[in-house]
Amino acid sequence: MLNISFISLLSFVLVYLNIIILNEEILILFCFITFCWIIVTKLGSEVTKNLKNQSLVIENSLKMSLNNLLKALIRKNKLSNNYKMVAFNFKTLNNHYIQLGTIISSKLPAYKTQESQKTYYKKILFTHNLEKQTVKLLTLILSDKLAKVSLSQNFCAYELKETRFKCFAKIILREYIETI
């Protein structure tokens, strides 16, 4: 370290030789240099400790932020892998959906035909049974009406002795015999 007396003597010599001109700026510079020198000599160890503490805090903060960044990158990597799997799963689902659609579209006409056959078979069976019942009913109604007509013809022909009805009976009998 430099001695204060040596610095003082040197500065007097420089001022005396007019190498250093004393004015306000130079005096302020000397004061500032003196202040810095005193701070370094008297508070140097405290400043060093404080700077070391701050550097440790900054170092720990950087390590933490790097660890957090690493964790975030790992999570992002996992999420991107999951997104890739989701995309792959959607492609697989799309393929299954297309296969299902083609199978359904190929089997749907046969299924519809089979269902239609079942439905129409039931309807045709119902219609057939209805026709049978209708034929029976019409037969009964016609036989009842014919019986009434024949009764009324017999009544008119034999009870009322109407000749026209006797003629009708003979004509009908002749037509019947011709058809046989």
Give the amino acid at 172. Answer: I
Q: How would residue 176 be classed by pLDDT, with cut points 50, 70 and 90?
A: low
- The mean pLDDT value of the chain amounts to 82
Q: Confirm if 11 and 21 have CB atoms less than 8 A apart.
A: no
Q: Where are the domains of the chain?
A: 1-44
Residue 103 to residue 111: CA distance in whole angstroms: 12
Q: How would residue 91 be classed by pLDDT, with cut points 50, 70 and 90?
A: confident
Residue 108 to residue 117: CA distance in whole angstroms: 14
For 101-127, the pLDDT digits (tens) are 888 888 888 888 888 888 888 888 888
pTM: 0.34
Q: How would residue 63 be classed by pLDDT, with cut points 50, 70 and 90?
A: very high
Q: Confirm if 172 and 163 have CB atoms less than 8 A apart.
A: no
Q: How would residue 59 be classed by pLDDT, with cut points 50, 70 and 90?
A: very high
Q: Taking CA 25 as the corner, what is the angle to CA 21 and CA 27, rounded to the nearest 5 degrees?
A: 75
The answer on pLDDT for 173 being more than 70 is: no
**pLDDT at position 61:** 93
The answer on pLDDT for 169 being more than 70 is: no
Residue 149 to residue 58: CA distance in whole angstroms: 126
**pLDDT at position 71:** 94
Residue 21 to residue 27: CA distance in whole angstroms: 10
User: What percent of the chain has a predicted confidence (pLDDT) above 90?
Assistant: 14
Q: Confirm if 171 and 156 have CB atoms less than 8 A apart.
A: no
Radius of gyration of the chain (CA): 64
The answer on pLDDT for 1 being more than 60 is: no
Residue 83 to residue 146: CA distance in whole angstroms: 89
Q: Confirm if 154 and 160 have CB atoms less than 8 A apart.
A: no
Provide the 8-state DSSP code for 17: T
Q: Which of 31-35, 81-85, 172-176 has the highest mean pLDDT?
A: 31-35
